[in-house]
A and B are shown apart, each in its own frame.
Chain A
Amino acid sequence: MSVKAELRARSGQIRKRKQFILYWLKEWSSWLLIVPTVLFFFFFSWQPLFQGVVLSFFRTEGFKGVEWIGLQNYIDVMQNTVFQQTLINTFIYVLWSLAIGFVVPIVVAIAINEMRHWGSLFRFSVYFPNMVPGIAAAMMWMFLFNPGEGGLLNMLMGLFGLPSQEWLQNPNMTILLIILTITWRNFGATTLLYLASLQGINNELYEAASIDGAGIWRKFRSITLPQIAPMISLMLILQVSGVFQVFNEPLVMTEGGPSNASMSMMLQSYFYAFRYFEAGHSLALGVVTFVILMLLTIVYFKLEKKWERE
């Protein structure tokens, strides 16, 4: 190497170092402001996620990993007879919530948007359940679903001449009832989001369609639905992802029973960790849930792109 080139390289290095020092002289105080927030994110979000995935490959004692055992935790969890049922249950949760929790806010929002009378009253009452804390709502419906003659719903059934029900104790009904409870509590917020997007539709579209002789049904299909379609597709994936992780309501209302009929994957994972004290199994189930959810999301976005192209 010639002397000249060497000098140039060295001066480049010095310039770089100088820039680096100048950058920190100027910016160290900015970075200092973000340090606490990043630390909180690290210890309460990123590190647990990472640590959880790593620990799922270890035999655990308490919350510490003691021995690398590869996929043994996964094999144990999947061979457990409860696993298959839990997986099916979780998909039943998702299906019911798509049939009920996903459709109700769309219908109600469109209906409220049409109202010339009492519009704000409906808006208020639909959002009202959102103000009831989730745990309190679950407990409240548990009381209302009380089997036997003391239950309010059984009393109402009696008024209409219908037989008393077992409600949550009935294994065929329990998931549906839990979904109804979740929907009751949450659909108001989603309805408000749809309403905001419905009100953003330009009224001239409707007027033009009317002049062209389009009826109500035609306007609904050709204007309303396409206009709120982006919102619908966003809500769809949020709903699936949310219900897939359903946890609080079955814990409070049924504890997964009767005989695991309402056990969801997250609840099972919680029981593994804090009831049977098998942290490794809990984490393996958590990772399985995570992977299924990620696959669902990726497939969904692929499909959505395809629809958009067509």
Chain B
Amino acid sequence: MNKSKGSGIIGDLEYRQPRVKLIYWLIFAGLIIVAAVCTLPPLWVILSSFKDIKEFYAIPPTLIPRTFHIEKVWNTWNQFNFMKYYVNTGYLTLGSLVFCLLFNGLAGFFFSKLKPRGSGFIFLLILWTVLLPNTVGMVPLFSNIVDFPLLHLNLTNTYWPMWFMAAVNPVTILIFKSFFDTIPVSLIEAARIDGSSKLGIFFRIMLPLSMPVIITITILTINGVWMDFFWPYMVLKDQSQWTVMVAIYNLKATLPMDIQFVALTFAIVPPVLLFLIFQRYIMQGYSISGGVKG
């Protein structure tokens, strides 16, 4: 894998000097250490959750596990009903995805293509929402959830608050808008002449044309919902409604440590798998936003 790179401080000529080569390999060794610090702790936790009880509580702890008990993980899964938490999280994710794609997509369509007079003001308001640090909203938002204004509904122990909040996502609106900007207006004019309604244009033309963006946003949303902690923790107080993150936090006080390690494994493995499968899309997202900002 030795290749000449695109752009860097150490040029091909300098790389031939022994002194520079030494520096290069020192940096290389440093990066190996960084990589180890990044990847080994989670791997150790996952492997440790397969240890038997005796080895788990051994002093000093073993770095490389000597025992491997897959049935222990299986028992914990059944005993603490993790299937339920996974299903709940899946349900929460599905709803969030629908709200996020539908309402942020519609907003992107509105700001990019419909643009009636006066829409600029709303767009500005939404942009401001990104900039303002939200240090004050926690209490009133919670009281809105407990007693939803006008309708007087109590939304605790339901997934609606998180679904609604999935629609409040200025960054996604921006991503949709900038992608829709690249779709030619002539397509929309043609559809309008053929008698298509605005919703029809959105669903039959805009969405099918923006599949790459939708895939990226979908992966990021799935990931985000899986990791989301605070609002699910505040809203879902009933154990039968807990998501995985809420469960591992709430069970912290009552479970013995080795079972907690298994629970952590349950929380870490799915997003890591998601990352391994969709690595390309996730990394792509970063190079896009890096290019835009830099």
Contact = CB atoms under 8 A, between A and B. Distances in A.
Interface of A: 23, 26-27, 29-31, 33-34, 36-38, 40-41, 43-49, 51-53, 55-56, 62-64, 108, 110-119, 121-129, 131-136, 139-141, 143-144, 149-152, 154-155, 158, 184, 188-189, 192-203, 206-207, 210, 216, 219-220, 223-224, 228, 230-231, 234, 241, 244-245, 247-248, 252, 265-266, 269-270, 273-274, 279, 282-283, 286-287, 289-290, 293-294
A279 B261 CA distance: 36
Given A46-B129, A122-B31, A133 B122 contact: no
A102 to B, nearest CB: 16
Interface stretch (B32-40, B64-72, B90-98, B178-186): B32-40
B290 A134 contact: no
B11 interface: yes
B290 A34 contact: no
Interface residues of B, number: 105
Given A114-B9, A150-B57, A293 B126 contact: no
A126 B34 contact: yes
Interface stretch (B77-85, B208-216, B267-275): B267-275
B10 to A, nearest CB: 5
Contacts of A126: 34-35, 38
Contacts of A244: 133
Contacts, number: 310
B31 A115 contact: yes
Contacts of A51: 140
B-side binding surface: helix, strand, loop or mixed? Answer: helix
B103 A121 contact: no
A101 B60 CA distance: 31
Given A44-B164, A124-B279, A132-B272, A33 B199 contact: yes
Contacts of B23: 216
B35 A140 contact: no
A33 B122 contact: no
B156 interface: no
A279 B141 CA distance: 12
Given A133-B226, A140-B41, 20 more contacts: A33-B110, A38-B122, A46-B125, A52-B138, A63-B146, A111-B31, A114-B9, A116-B15, A123-B283, A131-B268, A133-B227, A158-B60, A192-B290, A196-B290, A196-B294, A207-B11, A219-B9, A231-B293, A279-B139, A289-B133
Interface in B99-149: 103-104, 106-107, 109-110, 114, 116-117, 119, 122, 125-126, 129, 132-144, 146, 148-149
A194 B290 contact: yes
B7 A206 contact: yes
Contacts of A127: 275, 282-283
A216 B22 CA distance: 13
B27 interface: yes
Contact of A132 (B9, B42, B139): B42
